[in-house]
Amino acid sequence: MKLAILADIHGNLPALEAVISALERIQPDYVIVNGDLINGTPFSVEVVDCIRSLDWVVLRGNHEFYLLDLGTPRAVPGSDDPRRWGQLHWLAARMRPDQVAYLAMLPDERTLYLPNTQPIRITHGLPGRNRVGLHPAQSDEEIAAVLAEVREQTFVTAHTHIQFDRRVVWQPTLNGELSAHPHGDMQRPAVAARAWHVINPGSVGLPLNQRPTAQFAVLEPAADAPEGWRVQHFDVTYDRRPVLDAFKTSGMLAEGGVISTLFYWEVVTAAPEIIYFYRWAYERGLDPDRDGLETTFERYATESGRNVFVRLRDPLYNGYAG
């Protein structure tokens, strides 16, 4: 049995089509999309239509909620600002009511109980926290702390756009137990070690691991693998030029401004360009959302040289299709 896990497509139809071609060769038994179908690149409408036409299991991510919550009391503070959130407003004006209803009816997490396999818990970020993900640089202790309520031993997440396959082991210590009860029972607490197999399939449309490919994972049951499942990660090359060109021709770049430009850069570099920008600003005592998004970005692009770095790698300008 093969389970293909896709996540973080972010409206990148050319990347999704490349993955679909790869899946035709792999022939998985099931395909699961772990959130963030939309936003980020210009083809969200087409991506939703494509996925609706397929017999796949689909979950919501935080970008679905950005759209669904826009204009309601649940909206992200400041998302009514068309300068900072222009890309989301551009998207909302183009999504059809039937597509929005489809996204509204998706679940936020799933637990799979397939015959003769160990259960798998799947959610876009963390359970109940779709804007918080796991990063491979985190320690076992940090990951175990946020997975304490996850009883399933295999946990599939997404959100951080970085592939990883890791066994996290938590070994309780006595110090905390004893210090919590200084005058209580000094018997050794019966607390067993716990372990999770944590998997991130990476991002189909916006990977952030410096590999500008369409990325996903395939799981297969295996008795000798961590918690019963073996993982194979995939990188699929595709022509990024159509999606990059569409940033301009669709009007997304003009309406989305700085944030759309940074998403464009992420398609080019497969690096967390939005984080780089905000980190650069905060280190200099600047807040782009307070001090002017456009002026701060202009300064960043020039002083950091990041605009030149991206331009040299942009397949629309260097003649390279990949």
pLDDT in tens, 192-219: 688 999 999 999 999 999 999 999 999 9
pLDDT in tens, 65-88: 999 999 999 999 999 988 889 999
What's the Cα-to-Cα distance from 242 to each of 4, 36, 265, 272, rounded to whole Å?
25, 20, 14, 21
Residue 242 CB partners (closer than 8 Å, separation 6+)? 14
CB atoms within 10 A of CB 83: 16
Q: Which amino acid is at 183?
A: H
Q: What pTM value is reported for the model?
A: 0.92
DSSP letter assigned to residue 227? G
**Distance from the Cα of residue 169 to its chain's centroid:** 24
Q: Give Cβ neighbours of residue 30 (< 8 Å, ≥ 6 apart).
A: 2, 3, 4, 56, 57
318 has pLDDT over 70: yes
- Higher-confidence residue: 185 or 48? 48
pLDDT in tens, 120-151: 999 999 999 999 999 999 999 999 999 999 99
- State the DSSP string of 252-287: HHHHHHHHHHHHHHHHHH-S-HHHHHHHHHHHTT--
Of the chain, the percentage scoring pLDDT greater than 90 comes to: 87
User: 268 pLDDT band (50/70/90 cuts)?
Assistant: very high
